[in-house]
Structure 1
Amino acid sequence: MDLDRICREIVEGSPDAIILGDAQGVIRLWNAGAEAIFGYTAAEAVGQSMDLIIPERLRARHWDGYDRVMATGQSRYGKGELLAVPALAKDGRTLSIEFTIQMLRDEAGAILGPAAVIRDVTRRFQREKELGKRLKELEARAAGREPAA
């Protein structure tokens, strides 16, 4: 069994985005799932900063957390907890994504960077937002008042 080939097939065949960033936050791996979600080809994304998909208003917070994880090697999102954040697609759309990360290390244990497995949850997020709005309207009607616009 050729495990290297199987691993490559898993990464490339995943509908989820699998992105590897190095310790400086430069994209080093961008699979077909990332292409489908974000709209950039691997040729366009690899070698670029992760700012490519991070909304400008969130970049300072992102890099504070990224630097902390690179310094400590610890992230709560590596233990199965999902991080839900907005992201940017190539066409300028804002996406809602959820992801976990796995810290990758070299043979000596030095941090190489995080690998993120990312899922586009934009449709679900929009449905939940619409349901929340509808629930507030129904609660307001049941209480005998009109909902705030």
Structure 2
Amino acid sequence: MHSAVNLNELVAAIGDAIIVSDANGAITLWNPAAERIFGFSENEALGHSLDLIIPERLRQRHWDGYHQTMKTGETRYAFDVLRVPAVHKDGSALSIAFTVALLHSPQGALTAIVAVIRDETKRWAEERDLRKRVAELEAKLSEMEGKGLRP
């Protein structure tokens, strides 16, 4: 049996950020998870540029890709996860992973891009620490082997 789903309720309840931006990159939807992840309230985000959450050094690359997607109607991130840095309202760095979906008008024109975003800052930091620890252990092992010692 199929039951109706209230899409507004779903968008509000989901744990990942859902952000919709129009053809010019202005934010038109900002769910509670986006507020939690990025620190901007819905009122602070709506109508503003995605530059709110994009590190300055990456903005040109972002906008080049964004405008290319709007022009061609194609994105490789519909299924491939994109992992990039982002910025919290307080200026702290975030590591996010997201996919995008393209929204079209009834006539088929591309009108908006939806990003479904997960905060991976903690996981990324844990992985970085593990990589560092593995490198340290490999260096110690190499040093021991160089001295003819066995671990």
| Residues 88-138 of structure 1, C-alpha deviations (whole Å, 9 max, x = no match) | 000111100000000000100001111000000000000000000000000
Matching residue of 1:128: 127
Matching residue of 2:138: 139
Matching residue of 1:76: 76
Matching residue of 1:27: 27
Matching residue of 2:98: 99
Q: Which amino acid aligns with 2:53?
A: I
Alignment of 1:44-55 (within 5 A): 44-55=44-55
Could you tell me which runs of 5 or more consecutive residues in structure 1 were left unpaired when the two chains were aligned: none
1:15 Cα deviation from its structure 2 partner? 1.3
Larger radius of gyration: 2
Partner of 1:91, secondary structure, is coil
Number of matched pairs: 142
Partner of 2:60, secondary structure, is helix
Task: Please report the TM-score for the alignment, with normalisation by the length of structure 2.
Answer: 0.92
Matching residue of 1:38: 38
Distance across 1 between alignment mates of 2:91 and 2:143? 42
1:2 Cα deviation from its structure 2 partner? 4.8
Distance across 1 between alignment mates of 2:46 and 2:84? 21
Distance across 1 between alignment mates of 2:4 and 2:139? 61
Q: What root-mean-square deviation, in Å, do the aligned CA atoms of Structure 1 and Structure 2 show?
A: 1.0
Q: Which amino acid aligns with 2:45?
A: A
Q: Which amino acid aligns with 2:60?
A: A
Matched, 1:113 2:103: no
Distance across 2 between alignment mates of 1:15 and 1:94? 20
Find runs of 4+ consecutive structure 1 residues off by over 6 angstroms.
none
Q: Which amino acid aligns with 2:84?
A: V
Identity of aligned residues (%): 51
Task: Please report the TM-score for the alignment, with normalisation by the length of structure 1.
Answer: 0.93
